[in-house]
Protein backbone atom coordinates (compact mmCIF):
# COMPACT_ATOMS: atom_id res chain seq x y z
CA UNK A 1 0.00 0.00 0.00
CA UNK A 2 1.11 3.52 -0.74
CA UNK A 3 0.80 6.47 1.64
CA UNK A 4 -2.72 7.88 1.73
CA UNK A 5 -4.44 10.98 3.08
CA UNK A 6 -7.11 8.63 4.46
CA UNK A 7 -7.20 8.13 8.22
CA UNK A 8 -8.42 4.54 7.85
CA UNK A 9 -6.08 1.78 9.01
CA UNK A 10 -3.94 0.28 6.25
CA UNK A 11 -5.62 -3.14 6.51
CA UNK A 12 -9.05 -1.54 6.03
CA UNK A 13 -7.78 0.50 3.10
CA UNK A 14 -6.39 -2.67 1.55
CA UNK A 15 -9.73 -4.44 1.88
CA UNK A 16 -11.49 -1.48 0.29
CA UNK A 17 -9.01 -1.37 -2.60
CA UNK A 18 -9.82 -5.02 -3.35
CA UNK A 19 -13.54 -4.17 -3.40
CA UNK A 20 -13.01 -1.09 -5.56
CA UNK A 21 -10.84 -2.98 -8.03
CA UNK A 22 -13.61 -5.56 -8.51
CA UNK A 23 -16.21 -2.84 -9.02
CA UNK A 24 -13.85 -1.12 -11.45
CA UNK A 25 -13.39 -4.31 -13.46
CA UNK A 26 -17.14 -4.89 -13.61
CA UNK A 27 -17.80 -1.26 -14.61
CA UNK A 28 -15.25 -1.42 -17.43
CA UNK A 29 -16.72 -4.70 -18.69
CA UNK A 30 -20.25 -3.27 -18.45
CA UNK A 31 -19.14 -0.16 -20.34
CA UNK A 32 -17.87 -2.27 -23.24
CA UNK A 33 -21.06 -4.33 -23.27
CA UNK A 34 -23.22 -1.20 -23.30
CA UNK A 35 -21.22 0.13 -26.25
CA UNK A 36 -21.67 -3.17 -28.11
CA UNK A 37 -25.44 -2.81 -27.60
CA UNK A 38 -25.30 0.85 -28.65
CA UNK A 39 -23.50 0.05 -31.89
CA UNK A 40 -25.45 -3.08 -32.87
CA UNK A 41 -29.03 -2.27 -31.91
CA UNK A 42 -31.75 -2.65 -34.55
CA UNK A 43 -35.52 -2.58 -34.31
CA UNK A 44 -38.53 -0.38 -33.62
CA UNK A 45 -37.10 0.99 -30.34
CA UNK A 46 -33.80 2.00 -31.94
CA UNK A 47 -34.51 5.74 -31.80
CA UNK A 48 -35.09 5.72 -28.05
CA UNK A 49 -32.63 3.02 -26.93
CA UNK A 50 -29.60 4.01 -29.02
CA UNK A 51 -29.13 7.37 -27.22
CA UNK A 52 -30.17 5.86 -23.88
CA UNK A 53 -27.38 3.29 -24.16
CA UNK A 54 -24.96 6.12 -24.85
CA UNK A 55 -26.15 7.82 -21.63
CA UNK A 56 -25.40 4.60 -19.75
CA UNK A 57 -21.90 4.48 -21.26
CA UNK A 58 -21.23 8.12 -20.38
CA UNK A 59 -22.32 7.59 -16.78
CA UNK A 60 -20.15 4.48 -16.54
CA UNK A 61 -17.12 6.36 -17.88
CA UNK A 62 -17.45 8.95 -15.11
CA UNK A 63 -17.90 6.30 -12.43
CA UNK A 64 -15.00 4.23 -13.78
CA UNK A 65 -12.69 7.18 -13.28
CA UNK A 66 -14.06 7.94 -9.82
CA UNK A 67 -13.77 4.34 -8.64
CA UNK A 68 -10.21 4.02 -9.93
CA UNK A 69 -9.19 7.30 -8.35
CA UNK A 70 -10.75 6.29 -5.01
CA UNK A 71 -8.73 3.06 -5.02
CA UNK A 72 -5.44 4.88 -5.53
CA UNK A 73 -6.40 7.61 -3.06
CA UNK A 74 -6.72 4.86 -0.46
CA UNK A 75 -3.14 3.86 -1.28
CA UNK A 76 -3.89 1.01 -3.63
CA UNK A 77 -2.95 0.02 -7.13
CA UNK A 78 -5.55 -0.27 -9.90
CA UNK A 79 -5.65 -3.40 -12.01
CA UNK A 80 -7.87 -2.81 -15.01
CA UNK A 81 -6.16 -3.59 -18.30
CA UNK A 82 -8.40 -5.09 -20.97
CA UNK A 83 -6.80 -8.51 -20.48
CA UNK A 84 -7.27 -8.35 -16.72
CA UNK A 85 -10.87 -7.19 -17.03
CA UNK A 86 -11.63 -10.08 -19.40
CA UNK A 87 -10.50 -12.61 -16.79
CA UNK A 88 -11.75 -10.92 -13.61
CA UNK A 89 -15.21 -9.53 -14.43
CA UNK A 90 -18.16 -11.03 -12.58
CA UNK A 91 -20.53 -10.12 -15.43
CA UNK A 92 -21.68 -12.77 -17.87
CA UNK A 93 -20.40 -12.57 -21.45
CA UNK A 94 -22.50 -10.53 -23.84
CA UNK A 95 -24.31 -12.39 -26.61
CA UNK A 96 -22.28 -11.51 -29.73
CA UNK A 97 -25.27 -12.27 -31.97
CA UNK A 98 -27.73 -9.92 -30.23
CA UNK A 99 -29.26 -7.43 -32.63
CA UNK A 100 -32.89 -6.74 -31.73
CA UNK A 101 -33.61 -3.76 -29.52
CA UNK A 102 -35.49 -5.61 -26.78
CA UNK A 103 -32.87 -8.37 -26.70
CA UNK A 104 -30.25 -5.71 -25.94
CA UNK A 105 -32.52 -4.14 -23.31
CA UNK A 106 -32.94 -7.55 -21.62
CA UNK A 107 -29.24 -8.41 -21.78
CA UNK A 108 -28.26 -5.05 -20.30
CA UNK A 109 -30.94 -5.18 -17.61
CA UNK A 110 -29.64 -8.57 -16.50
CA UNK A 111 -26.08 -7.25 -16.38
CA UNK A 112 -27.14 -4.13 -14.50
CA UNK A 113 -28.62 -6.46 -11.83
CA UNK A 114 -25.27 -8.24 -11.44
CA UNK A 115 -23.41 -4.92 -11.40
CA UNK A 116 -25.75 -3.49 -8.77
CA UNK A 117 -25.45 -6.57 -6.56
CA UNK A 118 -21.66 -6.18 -6.53
CA UNK A 119 -21.91 -2.47 -5.79
CA UNK A 120 -24.22 -3.13 -2.85
CA UNK A 121 -21.87 -5.78 -1.43
CA UNK A 122 -18.91 -3.42 -1.69
CA UNK A 123 -20.92 -0.59 -0.17
CA UNK A 124 -21.84 -2.82 2.79
CA UNK A 125 -18.16 -3.64 3.22
CA UNK A 126 -17.27 0.08 3.15
CA UNK A 127 -20.03 0.79 5.68
CA UNK A 128 -18.62 -1.90 7.97
CA UNK A 129 -15.18 -0.32 7.73
CA UNK A 130 -16.67 3.15 8.35
CA UNK A 131 -15.43 4.63 5.08
CA UNK A 132 -18.19 7.16 4.43
CA UNK A 133 -16.42 8.55 1.36
CA UNK A 134 -16.41 5.19 -0.43
CA UNK A 135 -19.99 4.62 0.72
CA UNK A 136 -20.97 7.96 -0.82
CA UNK A 137 -19.23 7.13 -4.09
CA UNK A 138 -20.86 3.71 -4.37
CA UNK A 139 -24.26 5.06 -3.36
CA UNK A 140 -24.07 7.49 -6.27
CA UNK A 141 -23.36 4.65 -8.68
CA UNK A 142 -26.15 2.50 -7.19
CA UNK A 143 -28.67 5.33 -7.40
CA UNK A 144 -27.83 6.08 -11.03
CA UNK A 145 -27.84 2.46 -12.17
CA UNK A 146 -31.01 1.55 -10.30
CA UNK A 147 -32.68 4.28 -12.34
CA UNK A 148 -31.09 3.01 -15.56
CA UNK A 149 -32.19 -0.56 -14.74
CA UNK A 150 -35.71 0.74 -14.16
CA UNK A 151 -35.68 2.38 -17.62
CA UNK A 152 -34.71 -0.94 -19.19
CA UNK A 153 -37.21 -2.99 -17.20
CA UNK A 154 -39.96 -0.48 -18.04
CA UNK A 155 -39.09 -0.79 -21.73
CA UNK A 156 -39.42 -4.55 -21.37
CA UNK A 157 -42.77 -4.21 -19.58
CA UNK A 158 -41.42 -5.67 -16.33
Query: Does the structure show a pLDDT above 80 at 155?
Result: yes
**What phi and psi, each to the nearest 5 degrees, are found at residue 36?**
-60, -45
pLDDT at 158: 76
What was the pLDDT predicted at 3? 87
**Mean pLDDT of the 117-130 span:** 98
What pLDDT was estimated at residue 1? 87
Q: Note the pLDDT tens digit of each residue in 18-61.
A: 999 999 999 999 999 999 999 999 999 999 999 999 999 999 99
pLDDT tens across 51-106, in order? 999 999 999 999 999 999 999 999 999 999 999 999 999 999 999 999 999 999 99
DSSP, res 8: S
Per CATH, the homologous superfamily of domain 10-155 is Ferritin, core subunit, four-helix bundle (1.20.1260.10)
Domain range list for the chain: 10-155
pLDDT digits (tens, 9 = 90+) for 9-20: 999 999 999 999
pLDDT at 109: 97
Strand partners, 130: none
CA-atom Rg of the chain in angstroms:
16
pLDDT at 134 (0 to 100): 98
Query: pLDDT at position 153, please?
Result: 96
C-alpha to C-alpha distance for 65 and 153, rounded to whole angstroms: 27
Would you call 75 helix, strand, or coil by DSSP?
coil
How many CB atoms within 10 Å of residue 136?
12
Amino acid sequence: MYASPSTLPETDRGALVIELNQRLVDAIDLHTQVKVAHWNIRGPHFASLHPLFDTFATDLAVFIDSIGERAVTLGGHVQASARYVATASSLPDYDPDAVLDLDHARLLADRFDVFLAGLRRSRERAEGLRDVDTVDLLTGVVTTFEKHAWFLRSTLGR
